[in-house]
Every structure is written in C-alpha cells, then in structure tokens.
Chains A and B, each alone.
Chain A
Amino acid sequence: MSSHRAYFANQARWSGWEMAFWLAWVVAFFIPQSNLALLSQILIWGLFAVSLDLLLGYRGLPSFGQAAFFGIGAYTAGYLSKFGWTEPITGLLVSGAVAGVVGLMAGRVVRGLHGVALLMVTLGLNSLLYDFVQRSTELTGGDDGLPGVSIAPVLGIFKFDMVGRTGYLYTLAACFLIFVLLRALVRSPFGLALLGARDNPRRMQMLGAPIDRDLTLVMGLSAAVAGMAGALLTQTTQFVAPEVLSFQRSADVLVILVIGGAGFLYGGFVGALAFIFLRDLFAALNPIYWYFWIGLMLVLTVTFFRRGLLPALAGLWARRRKPAVDRPAQEVAP
C-alpha cells in the first residue's frame, strides 16, 4: 500500500495501546477488591472530559460552562425516571438528545466569541442555570435533590446492585460505545475540519468550509456527550442534586482535561484517572489541606507537561523505543 494511504490508515487503526487501555477496565472488574464505585465515577468524569475535548482539543474553544450540559443530562434522566420512564438505555439517549439540542442553541449564541469573552459567557450561562435549578425547590427539589429517582434494571435483568457491579459494567459499556463513535467521528473529514478551524479559521473560509455550521454542530455534539455522562451519573447513583451543574464541576473537568492532555480523545480518561485518584488519596491523607496539593499538581502540569500527561508519556515512550537520531520529532498527530 503506497505510503500516503498507509499514513492515513495508520491513524485510523486501533493501536495496541488503545486496546490495552479498554481491556484494563474490563480486567479491573474481575479484580476482587477493586473499588467499582470509584472506577465508575472516574469513567463518568472521563467521558465528561472527552466531551470538553471535542470543544477544546479538537476545535480550540475553551469553556467554563460545560457542567451546564452535564447537569441538563443528569436532570433529564432524573425527570424521565421520576415520571415513569425508568428504562436506563433509552433514558440515556433521550438525556443526550435534550442536552445536545440545548448545546446547538448555545452554539449559535456563542458563535462569534473567543478567548476570555467566551469563557465569561459560558460561565454566566452556567451560573444562571445553576441558580435557577437551586432556587426552584418545587420544580427540582432544589438543594435536597430531585425526589423519586429510581432506575429499572438494565435490559430488564441486571439490577443496580449495592456493590456497583451492574453500575460499573453499564457505565463502561456506555462509555466505550460513545467513545468508539467519537473516535470514528474525529477520524472522519469532519474531525479534520475541526482541527483546521482550530488552527486557522481564515484559511478554512478560503477553502469554502462552513466553519460556523461546524462550530454549532460540535457544540451540540459535545453537549450531547456531556449530557449522557450526566445521565450516567444520575442512573448509577439514582440521585441528582444541583451540584451536578456547579461552577466547581466546570472548573474540575477543565483541569482534568488539561492534566490528561487535550486533543487526543484519551486525555479525558487519563486526566480523570490521575485527578480523581490523587484527590481521593490527598483527601484521605490530609482532609483539611488537600486543596493545596491539587493546586500544586495543576501548577506543575501547566508548567512542565504543557500539553498534558498523555503526550508527555507518549513522547517518553516514543523516545525510549526509537533513538531520536533517525526519527523526526514525530508530533502525535490526532
């Protein structure tokens, strides 16, 4: 196969690393003492970070309001189950759709913005939604959370048991399927168009690329994935409270993605693993001052691993496997 075809096929093929990554999650299920509840939440954080990666990593748009879509998905799943639609899988899809539609509308609103203005508008919209949900106690139960959320067993068979086995497998399956779709998407011409618009919107205009349409679509898509992550959280914890759309969550997911590495689709999961695991560790070690270590970790990441852990690890692995002499500084092309 001529070299250029191999070049593109190479990018699309599932590498050994990727398969090992997903297999590890399956193996973790069988390890007797593994903390399935924590791993499920890491997966949910990871998927949530991947939704932000579509925006930030692939289209270069930072957002301080991604938790708004996460929260919309979480509450939609909550309301569905409260009004009788307790089947989880369809509930997940509907939640993603609702969040996606709101994402499309948000996309049209923030179209012309970038930089700090974009951060502030997304922050403002997120705060408005949080304030509304927290204050309307009759509608959402406010701070005490939405009453009456109960989810039927998956496929009618697997009940959400206490140990979290069903919850873990359900989350893993959902995350994997959504991830496979996203992976195919970013390897399609649409993904390349996003990267092009991230690098140089003016050049894209002169290639006739509908960058505004693409921006609205990627906002809708990223919102849908964030909504499904939110729905997964509601379904596995059978509870939802205003905290799901707090500013703190939007800041945490941004931190997670930057630590993991934006623009590699796996950065979200790697970042979630590092962040949630370390936060749990620091909190257990020193419950009062663990915020300090989270802050330090963030400062060090931004200083030394400018593009996140994943590229740093990949770079290390590449240098170790092939001496740098005969190999040009291969940038990990997405």
Chain B
Amino acid sequence: MSIALTMLFNGLTYGVLLFVMAVGLSVTMGMMNFANLAHVSLAMLGGYLAITAMDHLGVSFLLSLPLAFLGTMAFSWVLERLVLRHFYGTDDLTQVLLTIGLLFMSVSTVAYIWGPSFKPITMPASLSGQVQVMGLSLERYRLFLLAVGIALALALVFGLERTRFGAMVRACVDNRRAASGCGLNIQRIFALTFAIGGGLAGLGGALAANLLTIDPNFPLRYLIYMLIVVSVGGMGSVAGTLLASVVIGIGDVVGKYYVPQAGGIMIYLVTVVIMLVRPQGLMGRAA
C-alpha cells in the first residue's frame, strides 16, 4: 500500500512541476489566443539563470528562484514587445511556426552563451535526500516542490479571482473586443500577463533543474510535454492546466510502475483520447 502512496506522491509532484512550467503558456494561449511554443525555451532560460546565479553570484538555491522568475519575466516582456505582439490575431499555424523558429534560435543561442554540455545544479543539503513522512520515505525536494506548487496555484487562482488585475485578465480572456470597448488597455495587460507567464516558466525551469537536466536541447525534449498539458487541460484555464498536469503526472508515474511494457506511451494515449472526446480540453470552453 505504501508503494502506491509513494507513487501517487511522486506523480503528484511531477504533475506540479509540469503545472508550474505550463500554466503561463495556458494563460497566454487562452487569453491572447497565441500559441507560443517558445514558452519551453523561457523555462530553459529560467533554469540557466538560476544555475548561473548560484555559480557566479554565489546565491543560495532558494534565492535563485525569484531571480530566475524576475530575469525570465524581464526577457519575456522584451520578447513580447519586440516580436510577439505583431502576431496577435494571426492564425494559429503562423504562430506555431514563428515560435518554433524562435525555439530553434534559443537552442543555438544558449549553446553559444553557456556552452553545449549539461549544466549541473548543486542542491542544498536541506533539500536533498529522503525523509520519513507517515511511514513513507519521500524525497525532501519533492515535498518542497509540492509546497511551492500549491502556493503558486493558490496565488494564481486568487490573483485571477480576487485582484483587479485578475479581473482585467479574465475580461480579456472572455472577450477581448468587449474588454477594450470598456477602456481596458489591452496592450499593457497582454504585455504584463505574458511577462508573468514567462516568469512562471522561468521559475518552473529553475525548479525543474534538479529533476530534469538543463542543457541547450531542453526545449526540443520537453516541448511535447508542455503542449500536451496545455491542450489536455484546456486553453486559458488555470484549473484545467492544474488538473491536466496532475492527471498526466500521476498517470505517467503510476503507468510506468504498474505497466512498464507500456513505457512512455501512456502520456500520448491520454492526449489522443481526451483530444478526441473533448477537443477544447478538460476545462476549456467549447471552441
């Protein structure tokens, strides 16, 4: 029984990690109807910023997380202002191809700046190894990840539900024309939302550095996972992305444990089935 619980815990924390990395993309896709595949490159950037901060500035791991968030947020702001805002309203194929181009460019640029090999991350002792919780031996880092994930989910849900800015963002998601009709500065809201989404991806990348490996080919490896989480969850829905992340995280881990022959295809099966049954995703609005 304890094995099943451990597997559930590991699956949940893996899902939380996917959520943090993907939620920004879900909001930008849902709100600005903009498919930004380069979002996964922003996650990689966050990973590199955190590692560089720790190696060169001697910053602790915990402090490197906000730095990764702010650094990627700033970069996302510039990227949106310079390039992406000219492509709002184009058809989704154009956006997909544009951002695949940006993704390819990010792979080479990062290899040029940080070198082609893997970047190791040194974890503080307090976050490595195992700890006994209710008879289960759980990894400390995953507990930390769960805590950060829950805090973030709550902050996002409250941020969107309770704050004025949240209301403005939701207004834009529902009906951009109406929102701009009643005086909302759409451009500024888009820019800010995209930057926050990018910052979240950066934070997700920094958190992922300890579980996944950070190297220039990070985007090529994890692009598909992020697309799956966002489309299965439903564009524009934070709760949908959270649900999809957890379902896919647990499905992947538990699937690999109990049905090893199925190997990695569980995640693809889930995607195809859900997309056929509910093309708009679990919680997305019907197209």
Contact between A289 and B102 (Cβ–Cβ < 8 Å)?
Answer: no
Chain A hits for B86, CB < 8 A: 303
CB B216 to nearest CB in A, in angstroms, measures 9
Residues 72-110 (chain B) with a chain A CB within 8 angstroms: 83, 86, 92-94, 96-98, 100-109
Bound Cα distance from A292 to B110, whole angstroms? 10
Interface residue count on the B side (C-beta < 8 Å): 40
Residues 71-128 (chain A) with a chain B CB within 8 angstroms: 109, 112-117, 119-121, 123-125, 127-128
Chain A hits for B271, CB < 8 A: 120-121, 123-124
Contact between B280 and A251 (Cβ–Cβ < 8 Å)?
Answer: no
Bound Cα distance from A247 to B100, whole angstroms? 13
Known: A255-B100, A302-B98. A116 touches B235 (CB 8 A): yes
Contact between B35 and A116 (Cβ–Cβ < 8 Å)?
Answer: yes
Known: A117-B279, A117-B280, A131-B264. A251 touches B100 (CB 8 A): yes
Q: Which of B83, B109, B224, B231 contacts A247 (CB 8 A)?
A: B224
Contact between A121 and B276 (Cβ–Cβ < 8 Å)?
Answer: yes
Nearest B residue to A131, CB-CB: B265
Say whether chain B's binding surface is mostly helix, strand, loop, or mixed.
Answer: helix
Q: Which of B93, B108, B111, B116 contacts A295 (CB 8 A)?
A: B108
Q: B263 interface residue, CB < 8 Å from A?
A: yes
Of B35, B100, B103, the most chain A CB neighbours within 10 A belong to B100
Contact between B231 and A116 (Cβ–Cβ < 8 Å)?
Answer: yes
Say whether chain A's binding surface is mostly helix, strand, loop, or mixed.
Answer: helix
Bound Cα distance from A297 to B86, whole angstroms? 18
Report B's interface with A, CB cutoff 8 A.
Answer: 29, 35, 83, 86, 92-94, 96-98, 100-109, 111-112, 116, 224, 227-228, 231, 235, 263-265, 268-269, 271-272, 275-276, 279-280, 287
Report A's interface with B, CB cutoff 8 A.
Answer: 56, 62, 109, 112-117, 119-121, 123-125, 127-128, 131-132, 135, 247, 251, 254-255, 258, 288-292, 294-299, 302-303, 306
Pairs across A and B, CB under 8 Å, 27 listed? A112-B279, A113-B275, A113-B279, A114-B279, A114-B287, A115-B92, A115-B287, A117-B275, A117-B287, A119-B92, A120-B275, A124-B269, A124-B272, A127-B268, A132-B265, A247-B224, A255-B100, A258-B93, A291-B107, A292-B108, A292-B112, A295-B100, A295-B104, A297-B101, A299-B101, A299-B105, A303-B98
For the A-B complex with A124-B275, A128-B265, A303-B98 known, give 16 more contacts whose Cβ atoms are closer than 8 Å: A56-B93, A62-B96, A112-B279, A113-B275, A113-B276, A117-B231, A120-B272, A121-B272, A121-B275, A289-B112, A290-B108, A295-B105, A295-B106, A295-B107, A298-B101, A306-B94
